[in-house]
Every structure is written in C-alpha cells, then in structure tokens.
Chains A and B, each alone.
Chain A
Amino acid sequence: MVGLILVAHGNLANELLNTTAMILGEALTSAVGVPVNAMDDPESITDRIEQAIEQVNTGRGVLILTDMFGGTPSNVALSFHQDGVVDVISGMSLPMMLRFAESRDADSLSALAQGVKNAALESVSLASDLLSVKEADG
C-alpha cells in the first residue's frame, strides 16, 4: 500500500488524520503527520519529512499532502518529489483523505495521486449553484 504523509501548519496534519480515523472507524496505517510551527526552520522540516518517508514507505510509494501551495510545508515537501516514488499534492482536505483511504492499494502512485487530486476538485460545492441546478431541473 502507498504510504501517506501530511505536512501542514500548526496541528492541522494530525487533526486531519484524527478526523479521518473518526470517519473510518480506525486510524490509517502507514500514515503520519508532520506539524510545522512558526519557528521551525526548513532544514528541520526536511529532516522530519525524510524520517516520515522512511516510516511509511512500504515499497509502493509515498504520497505527501500539504495544506497550501506556496507555504513552507508545501515548498519543502515539493523537493521530495520523485516520479513514481514520492508525489506531492497541496490543498489537503477530508475528501482527499477518504479517496486515498479507499484507493491506496492502487498499482500506480501517479494514478492514485490523480484520483486524490480529482476528489478534491470534485468535492467543492457552492450552495447557490446546487440550488440553481435543482430549480432548473424542477
């Protein structure tokens, strides 16, 4: 199975793991959070991501989710990108976690990563858009 690392400001990474466990009824295995605090320097974040990769890598690749493109967690995580071995997606969310959980046994890391990214894109909804579609249908 593909390993998972969440890298995010504050305690968002661990809380998203906790919330995912609440939904699924059990914690994800081979999945760890790397919290990034205001005083952390990039070298220490790099070291912790390296350790996390060693911890979760079962030989099928590692997916790193970060909170926001352009932030330090994302910038540091991107340096770990390696085709077919480590992929990185920014903008982590609960839908991405759930899609990951149900497809992490995929043969291809890149296909899994695309699926997780698509889950994020497809799960954003605006109430007024939904209601206007419903009214048009009705």
Chain B
Amino acid sequence: MYDAVIRELRVLNKAGVHLRPASQIVKKMHQFKSEVILRREGRTVNAKSIMSVSTLLAPKDTVVTVEAIGPDAEEAVSAMADLFESKFGEE
C-alpha cells in the first residue's frame, strides 16, 4: 500500500483552471502511474480526465488540494505544483 501525498496549491493565473490548463494537467498526469485527484470546496475530480478537471471551477487565488497515491505520487504532486506555479504558461 502507498501513502497518499497531499499538497495545497494556489491558482495563480488570471483565468483560473479553465480548459487549456485542464488539458495540460491531464497530459502531465498521464505520465505517472499514480492515481491523482484534485479537490476544491467539496468537489473531487480525476486529474487524468479533462472532462473531470474541467468541472473543478477554480478561479485565480483559490486553493486546490492535490492528492496522489501510487509508486510515483511524490513526482506527480511535484509536477502538478510546477504547473500551478508556472501559471500554465499564462498571465
């Protein structure tokens, strides 16, 4: 069994987690074997499905929790944090 790796991430880009960032998240998370979810305000989404991530509704300055379980959970969470910190290549 693997322990969950959990981290809170702040949405820094002006437009929030809209479709294009969702696509980046999904593409990146598919590089990992771990299960990865995102949570915000009681909503939990599968970070490997764009249809799911698109329902996260996380605008700028909100906090999203990422949780990964699996053999490369640390790396997955770290990669997710990099995406949020890079503002998904946006303003």
Whether A24 sits at the interface, judged by CB under 8 Å, is yes
Q: For B50, list chain A residues within 8 Å (CB).
A: 23-24, 98, 101-102
Interface residue total, chain B, C-beta cutoff 8 A: 10
Contact status A23-B19, CB under 8 Å: yes
Q: How far is the CA of A25 from the CA of B24 in the complex (A)?
A: 8
Expressed in whole angstroms, the minimum distance between the Cβ of A2 and any Cβ of chain B is 17
Q: How far is the CA of A22 from the CA of B50 in the complex (A)?
A: 14
List residues 25-54 of chain B with CB under 8 A from any CB of chain A: 26-27, 49-51, 54
Q: How far is the CA of A102 from the CA of B46 in the complex (A)?
A: 12
> Which of B24, B27, B51 gathers most chain A CB within 10 Å?
B51
Whether B13 sits at the interface, judged by CB under 8 Å, is no
Contact status B51-A99, CB under 8 Å: yes
Size range of the chain A interface in the assembly:
10 to 19
Q: For A22, list chain B residues within 8 Å (CB).
A: 20
Q: For B26, list chain A residues within 8 Å (CB).
A: 102
Whether B65 sits at the interface, judged by CB under 8 Å, is no
Q: How far is the CA of A123 from the CA of B52 in the complex (A)?
A: 11
List residues 16-65 of chain A with CB under 8 A from any CB of chain B: 22-25
**Within the complex, which residue of B27, B49, B51, B54 is in contact with A25, where a contact is CB–CB below 8 Å?**
B27
Report A54-91 CB contacts with B as 1/0, cut-off 8 Å.
00000000000000000000000000000000000000
Whether A1 sits at the interface, judged by CB under 8 Å, is no
Q: How far is the CA of A25 from the CA of B27 in the complex (A)?
A: 10
Q: For B54, list chain A residues within 8 Å (CB).
A: 98
Contact status A23-B23, CB under 8 Å: yes
Q: For A99, list chain B residues within 8 Å (CB).
A: 51
Contact status A23-B20, CB under 8 Å: yes
Expressed in whole angstroms, the minimum distance between the Cβ of A120 and any Cβ of chain B is 11
Contact status B23-A24, CB under 8 Å: yes
Q: Known contacts A23-B20, A119-B51, A123-B51; can you find 5 more A-B pairs with CB under 8 A?
A: A22-B20, A23-B50, A24-B50, A25-B27, A98-B54
Provide 5 A-B residue pairs closer than 8 Å at the C-beta atoms, listed in order of the A residue: A23-B23, A98-B19, A98-B51, A102-B49, A102-B50
